[in-house]
Amino acid sequence: MSVWCNGAFVDHLTLDLAERGLMLGDGIFETIAVREGRAIWLDAHLARMARTADALGLAFDEHKLRGALFSVLIKSAAPSEVLRITLTRGPTGRGFAINGDKPTLMISLNPFDLSKLPASVRLATSTIRRNPSAPSSHFKTISYIDGIAAAREVAGRADDALLLNTEGHVACTTIANVFLLKDATLITPSDGQGILPGIARAVIMAGVAELGLSLELRPVQSAELATADAVFVTNSLRLATPVSSIDGKACGMRAIDDINAFLERDFS
Amino acid sequence: MSVWCNGAFVDHLTLDLAERGLMLGDGIFETIAVREGRAIWLDAHLARMARTADALGLAFDEHKLRGALFSVLIKSAAPSEVLRITLTRGPTGRGFAINGDKPTLMISLNPFDLSKLPASVRLATSTIRRNPSAPSSHFKTISYIDGIAAAREVAGRADDALLLNTEGHVACTTIANVFLLKDATLITPSDGQGILPGIARAVIMAGVAELGLSLELRPVQSAELATADAVFVTNSLRLATPVSSIDGKACGMRAIDDINAFLERDFS
């Protein structure tokens, strides 16, 4: 599978020796669901990427990016695919010099097998906490080592790690936002809790009224997970997935089919 | 300047499209001072790298690395240089699959101009905190975006960011450990405070008796910085550098020449 990199399709990445994405995790990314060649929630993903680039001082040219996306998506070859956009600060000198006037832009499109998605996931609480003050917590950056380490920590006993924040409140998993369903209320950790503001999460938040639910955006105590009617996790590729257990204790399993049906409307 | 990468000297990095160092900051590094072709504190750096690789599940072959270092260091071309070793998990499939049996090893050697080192540095406190629970805080990983963002936050008003931890105690800067000198006592944040255990820091800690000082390894309150006789920062390249001011307030400026003289003994 080839990748579009800085203007051309390539079979290998040829990078400058001082590429900061590789040397210092100095870059950002988006992963986007693609159906029949159409990128789902593209505007929302690009808006988040623009905000992130601005906050971190990365050059972001949306017009150029959209042109590149067109040349990638036209090669779509499967009904379900995943698009990944990676933007780094590019090559600079040693040290933390903050300017990079030659950003590296990479775009990949790969098949995404929907039949392999889990019907539910088991979570286990990681000892690694999310840090609400850290850009790596609230932006989608390629500095992902803490999430990788958390996933490794729970591998074998769970499918993903539940991450609390440094204050002990529920934050997210290594790849998804967390929601609790309790009676007619949907509860999810608020933006200041060390979470990435997910796109699927935003779509659900905007749709609560239509779903006949009310929304609580606030700090969430981990004890609340045990008494919820359902706990589920969301991301742009997997949509909403029920959590079957946390640290070996079964979760409430009220069906969330209506929430997935609501999300999937944008996919057809 | 060429780089040694996976067995050969190259002018550009040619990487697999799924290289995890680039896609997920999934790698570690060391920066090592080199004088007249000799890597200073090499054993300590490699021991730290081995511990880090083990903790993060990265394949680390010290024998092979030492062979590669020999072929790089023999090309030494300046009296003062900086050696950087970067090890990533290499290419894997999508997602957080945790095994990588083809790690990417890169080694660079570049001139390091000692005449440009600052005589002292001004610090400013960042709003970004160090997270004691995070591998990115206590290991030297390439997931460096939080440090980059902190350096950007204070650029223009300071030379480096002072990072407190999520409990509000003094941790470190984006590139250095922090020490306080108070009467005959040297004080530095202990290992659980969200700091990278620096090599220069360890050398100083091991030398306190010889320096006629006692050592306190403990949580450090930020108020203590104002009453110290001297505050200084350390790393393997710059050794000990006095801090002249923090958030615009002048620091105690008792000389630390004896500490640098002690460190420099290993450089001659």
Q: What is the dihedral of CA B54, B58, B62, B63, to 10 degrees?
A: 130
CA-to-CA dists, residue A249 to A120, A123, A124, A129, A171, angstroms: 14, 10, 10, 21, 19
Q: Is A17 close to B108, i.e. CB distance below 8 A? A: yes
Q: What's the rounded Cα separation, in Å, for the pair B253 and B251?
A: 6
**Chain A residue with minimum CA distance to B155:** A98
pLDDT range class, residue A95, cuts 50, 70, 90: low
- Compute the average pLDDT of residues A185-202: 98
Task: Give the side-chain half-sphere CA count within 13 A for B212.
Answer: 5
B212, B189 in Cβ contact below 8 A?
Answer: no
Q: What's the rounded Cα separation, in Å, for the pair A216 and A42?
A: 26
pLDDT digits (tens, 9 = 90+) for A21-63: 999 999 999 999 999 999 999 999 999 999 999 999 999 999 9
User: Which of B10, B140, B146 best probes binding to A when mutated, by most A CB atoms within 10 angstroms?
Assistant: B146
Q: Where are the alpha helices (DSSP H) in chain B?
A: 20-24, 42-56, 62-73, 135-138, 145-154, 199-206, 223-227, 257-264
Q: What's the rounded Cα separation, in Å, for the pair B64 and B79?
A: 26
A165, A171 in Cβ contact below 8 A?
Answer: yes
Q: What's the rounded Cα separation, in Å, for the pair B58 and B24?
A: 14
How would CATH label the architecture of B3-115? Answer: 2-Layer Sandwich (3.30)
Q: Tell me, yes or no, if B131 comes closer than 8 A to chain A by beta carbon.
A: yes
- Compute the average pLDDT of residues A148-152: 96
Task: Give the number of A-B residue pairs with CB atoms closer than 8 Å.
Answer: 176
Q: What is the pLDDT along chain B (268 residues), one digit of tens a residue?
A: 679 999 999 999 999 988 999 999 999 999 999 999 999 999 999 999 999 999 999 999 999 999 999 999 999 999 999 999 999 999 986 555 556 678 999 999 999 999 999 999 999 999 999 999 999 999 999 999 999 999 999 999 999 999 999 999 999 999 999 999 999 999 999 999 999 999 999 999 999 999 999 999 999 999 999 999 999 999 999 999 999 999 999 999 999 999 999 999 999 8
Q: For the whole model, what pTM was predicted?
A: 0.96
pLDDT digits (tens, 9 = 90+) for A201-224: 999 999 999 999 999 999 999 999
Which helix (H) or strand (E) segment holds residue B179: the answer is: strand B177-182
Task: For residue B37, give the nearest of B70, B85, B1 by alpha carbon.
Answer: B70
B122, B91 in Cβ contact below 8 A?
Answer: no
Residues in A touching B26 (Cβ below 8 Å): 144-145, 148
Q: Tell me, yes or no, if A80 comes closer than 8 A to chain B by beta carbon.
A: no
B227, B181 in Cβ contact below 8 A?
Answer: no
Q: Taking the domain A121-267, which CATH number applies?
A: 3.20.10.10
Q: Is A142 close to B23, i.e. CB distance below 8 A? A: yes
pLDDT at residue A97 greater than cutoff 80: no
Q: What's the rounded Cα separation, in Å, for the pair A203 and B14?
A: 39
pLDDT digits (tens, 9 = 90+) for B18-67: 899 999 999 999 999 999 999 999 999 999 999 999 999 999 999 999 99
- In terms of Cβ atoms closer than 10 Å to its own Cβ (0-12, 13-18, 19+), residue B181 is buried
Q: What are A187's two structure tokens?
A: 């509860």
pLDDT digits (tens, 9 = 90+) for B107-127: 999 999 999 999 999 999 999
Residues in B touching A22 (Cβ below 8 Å): 13, 15, 19, 21-22, 86, 88, 142
- Compute the average pLDDT of residues A71-79: 96
Residues in B touching A17 (Cβ below 8 Å): 1-3, 10-13, 108
Q: Is A134 close to B151, i.e. CB distance below 8 A? A: no
Q: How many CB atoms lie within 10 A of CB A189?
A: 25
How would CATH label the architecture of A3-114? Answer: 2-Layer Sandwich (3.30)
pLDDT digits (tens, 9 = 90+) for A99-116: 667 899 999 999 999 999
Nearest to A151 among B86, B98, B166 (CB): B98
3-state secondary structure of B217: strand
Q: Which residues contact A242 (CB under 8 A, 6 or more apart)?
A: A119, A120, A121, A230, A231, A232, A251, A253, A256
ipTM of predicted complex: 0.95
- In terms of Cβ atoms closer than 10 Å to its own Cβ (0-12, 13-18, 19+), residue A36 is exposed
Q: Is B22 close to A88, i.e. CB distance below 8 A? A: yes
pLDDT range class, residue A1, cuts 50, 70, 90: low
- In terms of Cβ atoms closer than 10 Å to its own Cβ (0-12, 13-18, 19+), residue B228 is buried
**Chain A residue with minimum CA distance to B141:** A145
**pLDDT of res. A268:** 86
Residues in B touching A2 (Cβ below 8 Å): 17
Domain boundaries, chain A: 3-114, 121-267
Q: How far is B227 from chain A (nearest CA, A)?
A: 27
Q: Which of residues 100-119 of A touch B (CB under 8 A)?
A: 108, 110
Nearest to A98 among B1, B131, B155 (CB): B155
Q: Tell me, yes or no, if A155 comes closer than 8 A to chain B by beta carbon.
A: yes
Q: What are B118's two structure tokens?
A: 């600052």
Q: How far is B228 from chain A (nearest CA, A)?
A: 28
